[in-house]
Every structure is written in C-alpha cells, then in structure tokens.
Structure 1
Amino acid sequence: MILINQLISAILQVVILIAIPFIFYLVKEKRVKGFFNYIGFKTTENNVFKYMAIIFISFLVIIILPYLYLYNTNSLTYTGFTVDAYKQYGWSMQTILVILIWAVIQTSLSEEIFFRGFLGNRLFEKLGNGGNIIQAIIFGGIHIVSVVGKGILPMVIIFLLTGGIGYALGWLSRNKADGSIIYGWMIHAAVNIISPIVVFMFLI
C-alpha cells in the first residue's frame, strides 16, 4: 500500500507541475507541438558529463557538514512514504522502489520540469544569468518550509544548499546542455537517491 501511495503521490506532483507550463505554452503558442522542447525535455550533442560529475561530487562534499549540523540540532525531521517503507519493511524491494519513485519521479523530475525547464528557461531568456539567479532563489525559498520553526541558521543553510544546487543545475542546462533538463534531472535524482539511503543507514 505504501508503494501504491508513493506512486500516486509522484504522478500527481508531476501532473500538477507539468500542467502549469503546458497551459502557459498552450495559451501563448496556440499549439501542443513543441511543448517538450519548450520545457527542455530534449538531449544535447554537447559533452556535458564532466560538468555533471563536477556538480554532483561538489554538492556531495559541500553538503556533508551542514547536513550533520542540521541532524545534530534536530532541525531535520524525516517523514513521508520513504521513511514509512523503511520503518515497516526495512531494506526490502518495496523500500527501494519507494525511494526510486520518490527520488527519480516525484522530486527530481517534477522540480526540473518546473524550475529549470519552465521557470528557469523563461527567466534566462529575458534576464540572462540574472534569470537563473531568480529561479535558484525561488527554488531555495520553497525548501525553507522544511525547517520553519527550527531557527534562522537552519533556514539559511537549507536555502543556500538548495538554492546553490538549483543555480548549478540551471547553469548546466542553459550554458552547457542547450536548455536540456535531462542532465540536471540525472544529478538531482542521484542526490535524492543517496539522501534517504544515508539517512536510513546512519541517522535513523
């Protein structure tokens, strides 16, 4: 049941966050064709893998100490279907599938479509790098809710970490990947897969 609930939750989030740019595109362009290209769901011929590796490794290194601080100060709370699955089934196939659905579809895919593919690309077209900064600020800002009431420092840490990765993924998309979100999606998904694994193995 947890797996089904996670799948439904993931699908709903993707549908909602793809519906907004779809309606915007439909009203503006008066057509459906070209929508996936519009949100950056395309590949590039550029070799972006070294930039992907740099962003991925750098983020993992940077996040270690802030993450430990947030944990040791009880600023992080672990809830959701991934936690429920682990507590009920341990390291089972169901738990792994729940983590994968949450990490690859619900969070990384939906957020890359909306923040980098739709919002980031539109802002970049109008404001250049300033547009990327704006989408990163918005992306960091929505993640602050996870630590509201825990103090100013945890809020600043979460904002900088999520805003920073949001900026890096936006930079990768616009400057190295011809506006594609696929490569940022891979990084985002990988980080989100590692995160609950580390939490379950060492912190819970």
Structure 2
Amino acid sequence: MTKKGFSQELHKQILIRILVDIFKEFGGKLGFKGGTCAYLFYELPRISLDLDFDLLRPFEKKDVDALRAILAKKGMIRDFKDKRFTIFFLLAYKKDAPNIKVELNKRVWKNNTYKTIWFLGVEMKIADESTVLTNKLIALSDRRMPVARDLFDGYYLLKLGFKLNEKLIMERTGKTLEGYIEYLVPFIERTYNDKNILHGLGEILEEKQKNWIKKELIQEMVQELKKLIRK
C-alpha cells in the first residue's frame, strides 16, 4: 500500500539513481518497461513507484549478486525471490516512504520492441511507445486482479497518439487488434466503476485528477478504444 504524504520527488530521485546504476552495470542485458518507464520517458502524468525490466540476455548468479549490491547501497532489501519467470527484490529506503519493487521478467514476448536512449550520460534500452501502450492495454484484462492504473495509463498513452503493436496483441492474446478491442471494451465497462476506479491511484494523484477519473475516465477510455476500430 502506498503511504500517504510521502515525498514523490524524493521517490522519483531514488528510482532514477537505481535505474542509472543498473544500466551502468548491466547495459544491454535489460530492457526497461512499465509504468515508471512511461512516467520518466513518455510523459505519463502520475508517479510510478517501482522498476520493471525485461531480461534480454542471460542473467547469471553473479549478476543477481551485483544487483543486490546496487540495491543494498540505496536501502534495506526486505525480500528477494528468484522464481521461474521473475527475479524480484523489495527495497525499503525510508521509514515513511513506499517500498520499491525491482522486478526482472524472464519471459519476454518476442514481439516486444525496444529503443536505445541516453539518460544522464548512460545508455539505456527501453520499451518503445507501441510496446509500452500495447502491454498496458493487455494488462487491463490479463491481471488476476484488475488495477485502475492500467486504465489511467492506457488512456493517457492513447491520447499521446501512440500506436498499438498488432503482432504483440496476437502473440499475447491470440486476437487481432480489432478482436481484442471488441473484447476489451465490455470488459472495462463491467469491471470498473466509480467505487473502484481510484484503487491504487488515490494516494499518488492530485485531487483534480481524482475527480476527473471518477467522473470521466471509463467513458473517455471506451471512446478512445472505439476509435481504433472505426479507422
């Protein structure tokens, strides 16, 4: 759970320091993705709390140990798991701040695409616009428990004019772009309402944003999705 009143600016700076150190150490082995990638590089108008990566090359025990050492310099590692599909760390850096999840995904979709950028003098590989958007929209219906941030993020990425990766949609869902959108629209309408639309978002958004989300987000998102199959 996000802790109310924490410093978003401090949290952002901690995320950036960890991100830079990770790419200095591991370079092309990782592809940065997810909400924090969208927040830092694609104008997502909300802070994201965690760091998510795809493993693009083999990650050995020495690499896990090196990552552990990087994180240990930033705070206390409260949890670690090396599972079938993920390597997971949970980092606590300050008593009144939310923990940071650092997750490395071993199961990488072959149609994910990445681009190379330079950030604070460090070369990084990040998921490109279409990959970030497409995975966000698929996450809407793919998670065991739907989370409102996928709806919020997907809407803003669509409004930025990002395109969907049709091959990635087919790979992950077995559906065409049109088929997935036709499935997703009623899923959103029956899953989200004004009582659950702020779950997981309320502590990290301004009051003006929260009011708009409760009143408008579901309808606006459905309209944006329907535009994709009218073209």
TM-score range, shorter chain: under 0.3
Give the TM-score normalised by the residue count of structure 2. 0.24
Give the TM-score normalised by the residue count of structure 1. 0.27
- Which structure carries more helix by proportion? 1
- Which structure carries more strand by proportion? 2
